[in-house]
Structure 1
Amino acid sequence: PSYFAALGLPMEEVFVATLQRRGLTGADAPILIQCFEVGALQRLRARLAAPLLQLVAASGGPFDRPDLSYAAMTTPEGLAGIARYADWIGADTALIEPTPGAPTALIAEAHAAGLRVAAWTFRAENAFLPEADRIGDDPAAHGRARERLARFAVYGLDAAFMDQPALGR
């Protein structure tokens, strides 16, 4: 949002107006509004009850908050802060499982803060899987993505972003 606003193309007013026209502003709206920036979600929370998701990456921080890192946002204190304006976090899979079979406490800590957790992005191709989940050497071949997703489900994951949605069935 900051990028487009700087170009003179602010999107929040048009976005909110569109949601209002479609009746998608309530807490039960079948949508999930996501953003890497903090300010946009805070402003949306003031206007909408629709579910909001704070995206967090394994490195860096929100563009609109150079004083804040995603690492700080994923501590118990940071998650409590996110819970004041969002309902979910959308975490890079590396924040949840840096090594196959060895999860972090992120999901439990987010749940304790009252947040649901989605992870991004599950892909079947070897090129996008940790080495332990690859099958063969072909980067385009499919590895053990289903098994990886099953591990994340055991960790308590609430939802997943994925390129091959049939894997999530």
Structure 2
Amino acid sequence: MQPIVIGHRGASGYRPEHTRGAYELAVALGADAVEPDVVVTRDGVLIVRHENEISATTDVAAHPEFADRRTRKVIDGIRMTGWFTEDFTWAELRTLRARERLPALRKASASFDGRFPLLRLRDVFKLMDRVSSRARRPVGVVAEIKHASYFESIGFPIDELFAAEVNTAGWNAGDGRLTIESFERTLLDQVYARGIYGKRIFLLEATGKPADQVRLVGRAAPDYADYLTDQGLYGLSGLVDGVSVPKSLILEIGQDGHVTGASDLVDAAHAANLEIYCWTLRPENVFLAKTFQRGRFRADFGDWQTEFRTIMGTGIDGVFADHPDLAVAVRDELAAEAREDR
């Protein structure tokens, strides 16, 4: 079974993330699914942005009428300054335009700044319906619901809002196209309890604690690392369908920072009857493990092929990629080699 390739916020290596252009291009480049990050507006509309703080991904700072909305907040324990989606109505946010989040690194993508308006989650569902028909293959949506505990604390039941959107869009058909992921397992339980039966994927970090558990029990909250042990993975079996981890947990990295191979985490997850995914495959040196970096500049493409092959050769169930075509190319190479070895 070959891993699925998920366009990380669309084809975000080529177009500003979470835009129509990024999503459409991801499908054209062979992605099996796209990943919208889901946050909420002041009037309860679910929109797709990497975070609820939008200064890096929109032109909001260039709008003098919104200058007084700039503020400081603590989101999941992190102090942030900027403009936040929950302080705007959808009517206001739709006047903004998307910008490349990493303009110094991805200048070609930044040339599309100002071309695309923001999207609601319902727009993404409609778009995937259209492109699936055009591509003559099903294209999934892997919806990452952000900051659920925070939003609940300020009066937004994001699980309820998400369930309503899914049902209205006709995406609760049980056809395998919908996946829900979150760093908060409580949110996954709440969405399931509302009758949304998409695949549930628990996002895990290498460090830190889940925000929902911190909110419930404070310092006694389990670390993400506790879920990554054999016991922790078996404890998740039956409660979620899978886990998704940073690629650093799939690579075995020595004390010198060099990759020595792949870890046994994929096998451990499968032994616990869980699917496992990883994020994020990117070809630029700045994102590659030291072993695979080539050349002098952060934006140069390194030996991404070998890193991608190391990860995708583990039997992993899916990968998130900013450049879906590159991940598809490696997957196809591995599949061809496997056929030749039979």
TM-score, normalised with respect to structure 1: 0.93
Counterparts of 1:8-47 in structure 2, within 5 Å, are: 8-46=155-193, 47=195
Q: Which residue of 1 aligns with 2:240?
A: 86
Q: Does 1:56 align with 2:210?
A: no
Q: SS where residue 302 of structure 2 aligns?
A: coil
Q: SS where residue 18 of structure 1 aligns?
A: helix
CA distance in 2, matches of 1:53, 1:27: 16
More strand by share: 2
Are the aligned partners of 1:101 and 1:151 in contact in 2 as well (CA < 8 Å)?
Answer: no
Number of residue equivalences: 169
Q: Which residue of 2 aligns with 1:135?
A: 294
Q: SS where residue 300 of structure 2 aligns?
A: coil
Q: Which residue of 1 aligns with 2:58?
A: none
Alignment deviations for residues 17-46 of structure 1 (CA, whole Å, 9 cap, x no partner): 111223323543312211001100122233
Quote how far apart the aligned CAs of 1:52 are: 1.0
CA distance in 2, matches of 1:25, 1:101: 42
Q: Which moved more, 1:93-102 or 1:144-153?
A: 93-102
CA distance in 2, matches of 1:125, 1:155: 22
Are the aligned partners of 2:251 and 2:310 in contact in 1 as well (CA < 8 Å)?
Answer: no
Alignment deviations for residues 116-140 of structure 1 (CA, whole Å, 9 cap, x no partner): 1110111111001111111112011
Rg (Cα) greater in structure: 2
Q: Does 1:165 align with 2:319?
A: no
| 5+ long unaligned stretches in structure 1 | none
Q: How well do the aligned residues superpose, as a CA RMSD in angstroms? A: 1.5
CA distance in 1, matches of 2:233, 2:201: 12
| Paired residue type of 2:231 | E
Q: Which residue of 2 aligns with 1:101?
A: 260
Q: Which residue of 2 aligns with 1:76?
A: 230
Moved segments of 4+, more than 6 Å:
none
CA distance in 2, matches of 1:107, 1:135: 27
CA distance in 1, matches of 2:313, 2:260: 10
Q: 1:26 to 1:73 in 2, by over 3 A?
A: farther
Q: Does 1:153 align with 2:312?
A: yes
Q: Which residue of 1 aligns with 2:273?
A: 114
Q: SS where residue 146 of structure 1 aligns?
A: helix
Are the aligned partners of 1:41 and 1:85 in contact in 2 as well (CA < 8 Å)?
Answer: no
Q: 1:69 to 1:26 in 2, by over 3 A?
A: farther
Quote how far apart the aligned CAs of 1:85 are: 2.1
Quote how far apart the aligned CAs of 1:98 are: 3.7
TM-score, normalised with respect to structure 2: 0.47
Q: SS where residue 94 of structure 1 aligns?
A: helix
CA distance in 2, matches of 1:141, 1:106: 30
| Paired residue type of 2:161 | V
Q: SS where residue 277 of structure 2 aligns?
A: strand
Alignment deviations for residues 93-126 of structure 1 (CA, whole Å, 9 cap, x no partner): 1111142233222110111111111101111110
Q: SS where residue 208 of structure 2 aligns?
A: coil
Q: Which residue of 2 aligns with 1:65?
A: 213
Are the aligned partners of 2:242 and 2:274 in contact in 1 as well (CA < 8 Å)?
Answer: yes
